[in-house]
């Protein structure tokens, strides 16, 4: 058989040769560095025989995090089975930052964090045995017999087609249902850590029983594992729910689970972020709209939400007719577009809306500002001609790049393409749309990763994955090309030939939602926001309230006249207590005002996070703060 390598070179091998053997024939170092292979774009274990002519590409450690962690989920399951023989197993996938396995321990056992060290100890024993991961092909009948005592695996197998080839993986005595691939052996899994336990409904359905979900993470390098565990400790300290309470940003009441209350300081933060959003979008020639929160059922039937999203919508009756609170802003934006006649010369039309939406989320899924039941989407709906897609999307990517850099958030782009089965529109249209999004990335000078088949049913999309200061990935920005709603709502424009034509529609969110983005920023900055974003930018602390408050009040008035957000601490408390509290509140600048400052008409400036106090003239300090606000300086 002929094997073709990434550089186009070809080499003949005997039928049944394994990827590891092919790598070894090229160089011992390639064989040593490789974890798995892509054979005709299908993932192969290094030990799996290749039976026909094929293209091959070897994947090294830096590209194999998911495979490593999926293998470690099998390691976890084998250790649990050894310790708890009556355990049954759901699924154990790799995830963005590691892996988990859903388990029913059996015998009335419920896992707690205290059980993890015992399971880890058993996992270490299996790692040290250097057990090979062996791929086994079997039939549905044989698989059902093998897993007859595990109702979860049996349910999964019964969902498979009779003609489907079923694959299993064995290491030692443990066998699991799995497509693979895996690392060559358990010795690759020595740098792991189980992190926590939670409950999870079988197959994500609250009607099903709850299993125990054990989370963990595995790295090829011990140093990377230690860095990750350090980040986990930092994340606990930076939890936005904890900081939100300490910094008095928001609250959640038992009278409204999932419905956040914004407190005065949080409202300042939110409005500052929104004002920035309006400013950059005004510059980019967006028109701003506001659409109703509640609209008639007929509209949601036209949009398809009533049929496909009904269970997540809040509804009511008005004048004996069904209404729904909007879960998305798009239908309202389409009605605004239809309100006027448009010419090809008008396009693109960019409509921006900070629209409040409501979605019914399961109570168990609610999580601070990250998962709520009402939130403000920073939506834009752009109507344009097909020939404008590349230039418009390129322009959007540059805007995203500018905005994320303001917050020191790096990102990468993922292009999600047409689903294999459930999609609307012509194949030719999809191909054009996908190529347009790819070309837009290239025109903007941005690399992108392709997620085959992960697009929405109505069109392909670009997703912007942000990486924060603790190395977490967040899905925030998105650009979705919609071929469905323009058709459903029958929107048109008058073309250059005088005929009515269908515009292309882009859905576009930059922050994703204001609430979630603020939660992300709170943890990203650890609550120590850049000066321009901080609810309180300067804290004035007189050494002696009676003697120094007049100077402090004049200084406060001057700062307010420059739109600097300033607070005076005129309480009858000890100076050390006031300074510590200002530090706890993470206020960017703390100015202690005593006799020296009053006499010399100067300031003693202390920056949050620094132990140093610097003497500055009043004008120099004010100019510095104003400049940081104006330039959106972010040095964290």
Mean pLDDT of 93-110: 93
Residue-wise pLDDT for 583-597, tens only, equals: 999 999 999 999 999
Return all residues near 332 (Cβ < 8 A) that are at least 6 apart. 289, 291, 292, 295, 326, 353, 355
Catalytic residues: 330, 359, 377, 379, 381, 461, 507
In the chain, residues under CATH classification 3.40.50.800 are 538-630
Instruction: Return the sign of the alpha-carbon dihedral for residues 385, 391, 396, 397.
Output: positive
- What mean pLDDT do residues 549-564 have? 95
Angle at 399 between CA 95 and CA 357, to 5 degrees: 65
CATH number of 2-63: 3.10.20.30
Residues of the chain with CATH 3.30.930.10: 251-291+326-524
Say if residues 254 and 266 touch (Cβ distance below 8 Å).
Answer: no
The whole model's pTM is what? 0.83
Helical (H) or strand (E) element with 617 = strand 613-617
Supply the pLDDT for residue 13: 92
Class of domain 65-237: alpha beta
Does the pLDDT value for residue 344 go beyond 80?
Answer: yes
Give yes or no for residue 255 having a pLDDT over 90.
Answer: yes
269: three-class secondary structure by DSSP: helix
The string of pLDDT tens digits covering residues 381-437 is 999 998 999 999 999 999 999 999 999 999 999 999 988 877 777 788 888 888 989
Give pLDDT tens digits for 18-73. 999 999 999 999 999 999 999 998 999 999 999 999 999 999 999 999 999 999 99
| pLDDT the model gives residue 310 | 87
pLDDT, averaged across the chain: 93
> pLDDT, tens digit, for every residue of 485-531?
898 899 999 999 999 999 999 999 999 999 999 999 999 999 999 99
Domain with CATH 3.10.20.30 in the chain: 2-63
Interatomic CA distance for residues 623 and 617, integer angstroms? 10
Average pLDDT over residues 185-191: 97
Residue 581 C-alpha from the chain's centroid: 33
Mean pLDDT on 467-475: 87
pLDDT band for 92, please (50, 70, 90 cuts).
very high
223-249 in b/e burial notation, b at 16+ Cβ within 10 A?
Answer: eebeebeebeeebeebebbebbeebeb
Residue-wise pLDDT tens digits, 277-300: 999 999 999 999 999 999 999 999
Q: Which residues make Cβ contacts (< 8 Å) with residue 212, sequence separation at least 6? A: 102, 103, 104, 105, 110, 111, 197, 198, 199, 200
In CATH, what is the architecture of 251-291+326-524?
2-Layer Sandwich (3.30)
How would residue 636 be classed by pLDDT, with cut points 50, 70 and 90? low
Q: What is the pLDDT of residue 457?
A: 77
Residue 243 has pLDDT above 80, yes or no: yes
Cβ-based neighbours of 427, under 8 Å, separated by 6 or more: 418
Query: In the CATH scheme, what is the code of domain 538-630?
Result: 3.40.50.800
């Amino acid at each position: 058989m002929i094997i073709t390598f990434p550089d186009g070179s070809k080499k003949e091998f005997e039928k049944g040769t394994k990827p590891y053997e092919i790598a070894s024939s090229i160089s011992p170092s390639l064989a040593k560095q490789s974890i798995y292979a892509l054979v005709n774009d299908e993932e192969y274990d290094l030990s799996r025989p290749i039976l026909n002519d094929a293209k091959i590409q070897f994947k090294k450690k830096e590209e194999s995090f998911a495979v490593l962690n999926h293998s470690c989920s099998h390691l976890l399951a084998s250790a649990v089975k050894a310790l708890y023989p009556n355990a049954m197993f759901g699924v154990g996938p790799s995830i963005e930052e590691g892996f988990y396995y859903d388990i029913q321990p059996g015998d009335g056992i419920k896992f707690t964090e205290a059980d993890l060290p015992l399971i880890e100890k058993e996992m270490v024993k299996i790692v040290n045995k250097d057990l090979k991961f062996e791929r086994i092909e079997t039939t549905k009948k044989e698989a059902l017999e093998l897993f007859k005592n595990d109702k979860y695996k049996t349910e999964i197998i019964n969902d498979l087609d009779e003609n489907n080839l079923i694959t299993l993986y064995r290491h030692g005595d443990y066998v699991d249902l799995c497509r693979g691939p895996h690392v060559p052996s358990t010795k690759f899994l020595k740098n792991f850590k189980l992190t926590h336990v939670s409950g999870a409904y079988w197959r994500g359905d609250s009607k099903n029983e709850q299993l125990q979900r054990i989370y963990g993470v595995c790295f090829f390098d011990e140093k990377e594992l230690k860095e990750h565990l350090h980040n986990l400790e930092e994340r606990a300290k930076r939890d936005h729910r904890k900081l939100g309470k300490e910094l008095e940003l928001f609250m959640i009441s038992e009278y409204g689970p999932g419905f956040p209350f914004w407190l005065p300081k949080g409202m300042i933060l939110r409005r500052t972020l929104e004002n920035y959003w309006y400013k950059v979008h005004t510059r980019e020639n967006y028109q701003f709209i506001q659409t109703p929160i509640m609209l008639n059922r007929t509209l949601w039937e036209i949009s398809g939400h009533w049929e496909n999203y009904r269970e997540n919508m809040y509804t009511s009756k008005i004048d004996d007719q069904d209404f729904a609170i909007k879960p998305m802003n798009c239908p309202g934006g389409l009605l605004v577009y239809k309100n006027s006649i448009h010419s090809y010369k008008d396009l693109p039309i960019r409509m921006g809306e900070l629209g409040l939406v409501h979605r019914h989320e399961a109570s168990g899924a609610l999580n601070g500002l990250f998962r709520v039941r009402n939130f403000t989407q920073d939506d834009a709906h752009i109507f344009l001609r097909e020939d404008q897609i590349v230039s418009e999307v390129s322009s959007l990517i540059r805007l995203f790049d500018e905005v994320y850099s303001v917050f020191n958030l790096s990102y990468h782009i993922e292009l999600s393409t047409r689903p294999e089965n459930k999609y609307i529109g012509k194949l030719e249209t999809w191909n054009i749309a996908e190529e347009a999004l790819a070309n837009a990335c290239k025109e903007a000078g941005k690399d992108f990763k392709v997620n085959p088949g992960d697009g929405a049913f109505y069109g392909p999309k670009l997703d912007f994955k942000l990486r924060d200061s603790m190395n977490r990935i967040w899905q925030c920005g998105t650009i979705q090309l919609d071929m469905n709603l323009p058709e459903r709502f029958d929107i048109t424009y008058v073309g250059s030939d005088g005929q009515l034509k269908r515009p292309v529609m882009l859905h576009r969110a930059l922050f994703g939602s204001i609430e979630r983005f603020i939660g992300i920023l709170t943890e990203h900055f650890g609550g120590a926001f850049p000066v321009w974003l901080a609810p309180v930018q300067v804290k004035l602390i007189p050494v002696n309230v009676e003697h120094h408050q007049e100077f402090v009040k004049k200084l406060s008035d001057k700062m307010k006249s420059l739109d600097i957000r300033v607070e005076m601490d005129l309480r009858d408390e000890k100076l050390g207590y006031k300074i510590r509290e200002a530090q706890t509140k993470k206020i960017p600048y703390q100015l202690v005002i005593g006799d020296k400052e009053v006499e010399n008409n100067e300031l003693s400036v202390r920056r949050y996070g620094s132990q140093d106090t610097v003497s500055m003239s009043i004008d120099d300090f004010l100019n510095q703060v104003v400049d940081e606000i104006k330039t959106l300086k972010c040095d964290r």
